[in-house]
Chain A
């Protein structure tokens, strides 16, 4: 009676119990669940031998593993992966097999596992859909970047002509209002060229222009680069009645960075500082360091960065608003460049007002292999 109840419970749980015979066939033990009876096209007699691998081809790969259990070698049970057969009418029939040794009986339990199957599929499907969507978006962004690069590159050619013409006219030193208008046009054209260069530089940095292995090898001396960049910006600063004051890094201030891009990083920060400084203001460029790194900061006395913008300052297109706002790529370029050198960059709002941008670069070994002082 108890055996009969247990058998009915197993069947109602969707499990069929089969016992392996010495000749490799199986005999059904207990009641058969409906799905199994349907597959067998009727109720079997207890002594009808079953070739399970013919009934379920998947078991061809599971039975050899089950054999080890039935021979008493190692584990006393083993579970298969879930597999899916197709029932009549096209219905999915998810199944799972367990081989176990109970006393002398070598048992194979096959379970219909719809719930487990659907839960697992839900999770895996979501993960895979997200992966496919992510890949598709990444490809789309890359294509759009390339398109933007082409457009910006094409915009640069006619601009060169405009700049050439404006420069020629400027050399004639036109008098009065004409001269003022010409200067304004020339300034605007130069600014546009600078923005185009910025976009093209970012594109180059994002699309394989930088090689991390190579980055380790590039070294430049802040002692040489910093005065050079500051000197280039002094003329513009004077035009706005802004004064740039700088520290002098000691000779041999070698850092992991390459000179052309370090110049652009410094130029970006100085441009911003001068542009946002009040007339008559000061910009301070400071350098400080420890054994492993050198930090450069650029401080201005402007209005500072609104807190709402500060968090995304170094993101792509994380630009400010108003006429002084740039392309939104300058600080982004600074961040990806500095980070690829293994450095860091950031912004701080000094309590006394203004803005303080800083970046920190690793000290580099000198050509003799020793760390620079």
Chain B
């Protein structure tokens, strides 16, 4: 290993889209069907290896944005990138994710980010149609994930981590 870099990454998205489940799946390979809302911020770390590099992602899982709790913008300070999470079964959560993106981009500038459309295991119930997804994919790196089955989760985090490697 030639380098070891530590990068702060924030997870942003509406309530109940599965941010915590994605982190738990990625960091500890576990999933629970029981929904537990996030209070404030939850922090986890994960080492990722790429050929001759290793990176440490410090994952800031921020409480969902809704009428009960706002995302505190100061928590974005120092983030090297962010993961926007939406729930494919709830179209409105995509709008929330995009609104959070505008806020984050204004604070952090043009840092690496990916858009994650979670709950791919419920594909038949998605409100987001293929055309909308293609439209999003034209502007973002988009990943369909399922925290439940694990599909796409590693790929999404690894893609963001790769973009954060020291050049």
Residues of A that sit less than 8 Å from B by CB: 56-58, 60-61, 65, 81-86, 90, 94, 117, 120-121, 124-125, 127-129, 131-132, 135, 139
Contact = CB atoms under 8 A, between A and B. Distances in A.
B150 interface: no
Contact of A128 (B16, B74, B90): B16
B3 interface: no
A125 B35 contact: yes
The 7 closest A-B pairs by CB, nearest first: A125-B37, A84-B42, A82-B40, A83-B41, A81-B40, A83-B40, A121-B39
12 contacts: A57-B58, A61-B77, A61-B78, A84-B43, A85-B43, A94-B39, A127-B68, A128-B16, A131-B15, A131-B66, A132-B16, A135-B90
Contacts of A121: 36-37, 39
A136 B40 CA distance: 25
Contact of B44 (A56, A86, A132): A86
Given A58-B41, A128-B37, A128-B68, 8 more contacts: A57-B58, A61-B78, A83-B43, A86-B42, A124-B39, A128-B15, A128-B66, A131-B66
Interface residues of B, number: 29
Contacts, number: 65
A39 to B, nearest CB: 13
Secondary structure dominating the interface of A = helix
B78 A124 contact: no
Contacts of B149: none
A128 B64 contact: yes
Contacts of B16: 128, 132
Contact of B28 (A83, A85, A90, A124): A90
B132 to A, nearest CB: 17
A125 to B, nearest CB: 4
